[in-house]
Structure 1
C-alpha cells in the first residue's frame, strides 16, 4: 500500500462495477488467513464495500499485483519453538479520515512462530494516542487469554505469564497505576480489562522501541524497506527466493 495515500469515501468517481470489487475483497479477506502481509490493506479496502471508487479499485489492483509477484511467500514455522506466548500490540491514532477512529493491531507468537494476527478499526473515537494504545492493549490481552485457554484444551499446560510488548509509555503507565483520574475515566472498562490480567499474572507488560514494534505492519502502510524488515521478523519467507 502506498504510504502517502489515505483511502477515504468520495475520494474519486464511483467504480463502474461494485459487485466485482466486493467479490475480490471477499477473496482477499479469505487469503488473510495465511497471508498476514495483506491484512492491513484488506481491512482498509473492506471499509468501502458499499460504494467503492476508482481509487479504491486501483489500490486493490496494486494488492493483486503484489500477490501475483510473491506466490511463494508465507509463514515458516520452526519445529523447535518454545512454549512461550509473546504478543506485540500497536495502534495508529485517528488514522481514518472519515471517522477519525484509530486502527488496532496485534501479532501473537508461540515461541518464534506467529500464530495469530489482527488489524481492526476501533469501535469508538479515541481522544488521545494513549487511549488508542490502551484500547489496543485490551484487545491484545483478550487474545492472549484465549490462546492460553486453547493450549489448555490441547492438554498443553501453560502456567507462566505471557509477554505483551507495547511502545507507548503512557499506556503502560496507566496500566500500572492503580488510581483512576479524570483523563482516564472514559476508558475505565479497558483499564479494568488489562489490569485484571496483569494482577492475575496472566501476562507481563513490557516496553519496546517503535523501530522493533512488529505490529506496525497491522496498523499503517510502511515504506518498502521497513515493510520487508517487519515481514522477516514475523517469520515470513519467500521459498522462491535464494536464502
Structure 2
C-alpha cells in the first residue's frame, strides 16, 4: 500500500489512506478481506487494478456483508446488523424456539463468585461468551450484559450460564437490531460517560461506560469494570470521564487523518456535578489525590479547549445502560435515542 502512495493510519494500523486533490481513498483490511471506499473513483479503480497484479483478488461489488456484519443502504442512510450471525448462534445452541425476553439483564439482579454455586461446562460457557463478545461489537444493547458474564470465564457457575442464556433469549427477541447511520449534515464529536459506583457485589469495583457519536451517529461504546476500587462516586465518575476522553481524542485523530478534523470543542456529557467541578478545579484535596494522573490529563485538554463537560440529567444519561441493569422502559427508550433500529420490522 505504501508503494502505491498510501499512508498507514496511526489510529488504526489496518487502515490505509491516500489524499489526492482534496479527495480521499481508504482501504481497511482484515486478514484476506478488505474494503475500499472514498470519494475518488479514479483512485479506487487504480488501486483495484494495482492490487490485482500483486494478489489473486475478487471484487464482490458494493459492500453488503463483511466479517459477519450485514450492510443495507437506503435513501435514509446506512444500516448495519448481524442478523445472520444471531440466527446461526440461536440454531447452534438449539434455541430457535426459545421464549424471548425484552432485556438482556434482570434489573437489580446481582451475582458474584460463590464457592457454593454449582459449576457449569466451562468450555461451552467460554465458547458462548466469546461469540457474544464478538456480537457486542455491533450490538451496544448487549454490551453491559456481556461485560458482566465475561468476568467469570475461568470459574463459571450455573448462575452465570443462566445469565448467558438470558442474553441469547434477548437476541431471539430482537435478532435484527442494528445501527442506523444518518446523514445529519454535521460532524460534531460527542460522548456520554457514566459510572456505577461500587456496583460489583463480588469486589465492590465500579463499572464505567461511554458512548461516542460522530455527526449524531453512534460509532463506539464500551462497558468495563474499573481496575481499582473507587472511594467515592465522584472518583468513579472521574475515572470514567478519563476513559471517555481518551476515546474522543482517538476519534479526533482518526477523523483528522481522514481529512475531517473537528472544528469545535468535543462534548463529553456527565451526570455527576462533583466530577465536573473536580475537572475544572486545580486545587488538590482528598477527593482528587487518588486520581492525580487522570485529573492533570483532563485539565490539560480543558485548558487547550479540546473538550468540555456539559452536565446532563441522570434521566437523559444514555451511558447509564452500560453500567447497570436498567428497567425495560429506560432500556428501550435509550435504544431509540442511540439510533438502534430494526429495519426488518413490518411498518
Please state which band the TM-score falls in when normalised by the shorter chain: over 0.9
Match of 2:218 in 1: 114
SS class of match (1:76): strand
Tell me how far apart the structure 2 counterparts of residues 113 and 221 of structure 1 sit (CA, whole Å). Answer: 24
Aligned-CA RMSD value: 1.2
- The equivalent of 2:109 in structure 1 is 5
Q: Which residue of 2 aligns with 1:67?
A: 171
TM-score (norm. length: structure 1): 0.97
Q: Tell me the CA shift for residue 48 of structure 1.
A: 0.5
Q: CA deviation at 1:185?
A: 1.2
Aligned residue for 2:269? 165
2:182 is matched with which residue: 57, 66, 78? 78
* Change over 3 Å in CA distance of 1:207–1:3 after alignment to 2: same
Residue by residue, what CA displacement relative to the aligned partner does 1:179-214 show, whole Å, maximum 9, x if unpaired?
Answer: 112332121111111111111111111000000000
- In structure 1, the residue matched to 2:90 is none
2:201 counterpart residue number: 97
The separation in 2 between residues aligned to 1:197 and 1:14, in whole angstroms, is 49
1:152-203 Cα shifts (integer Å, max 9, x gaps): 1111122311011000010011011121123321211111111111111111
CA distance in 2, matches of 1:159, 1:168: 27
C-alpha distance in structure 2 between counterparts of 1:16 and 1:174, whole Å: 45
2:340 is matched with 236
Of 282, 285, 290 in structure 2, the residue corresponding to residue 186 of structure 1 is: 290
SS of 1:183's partner is coil
* Distance in 2 between residues matched to 1:82 and 1:37, nearest whole Å: 25
Which residue of 1 is the match for residue 125 of structure 2? 21
Q: What SS class does the counterpart of residue 310 from structure 2 fall into?
A: strand
Instruction: Find the counterpart in structure 2 of residue 225 from structure 1.
Output: 329
Partner of 1:155: 259
Distance 1:104 1:38 in 2: 15
Tell whether the 8 Å contact from 1:107 to 1:114 is kept in structure 2 after alignment.
yes
TM-score by length of 2: 0.68
Shift in Å, 1:4 = 2.0
Determine which structure has the larger helix proportion and give its number: 1
Structure 1 stretches of 5 or more lacking a match?
A: none
Give the Cα–Cα distance (whole angstroms) in 2 for the partners of residues 225 and 33 of structure 1.
23
Change (3 A) 1:12 1:5: farther
Residue pair 1:12, 1:55 contacting (<8 A) in 2 also = no
Query: Offset at 1:15?
Result: 3.0
Q: Which has the larger radius of gyration?
A: 2
Of the two structures, which has the highest relative contact order with CA contacts closer than 8 Å and spacing of 6 or more?
1
- Give, in angstroms, the shift of residue 62 of structure 1: 0.6
Specify whether residues 71 and 239 from structure 1 end up closer, same or farther in structure 2 by C-alpha distance, changes over 3 A only. same
For the residue of structure 1 that corresponds to 2:120, the secondary structure is coil
What is the aligned length? 243
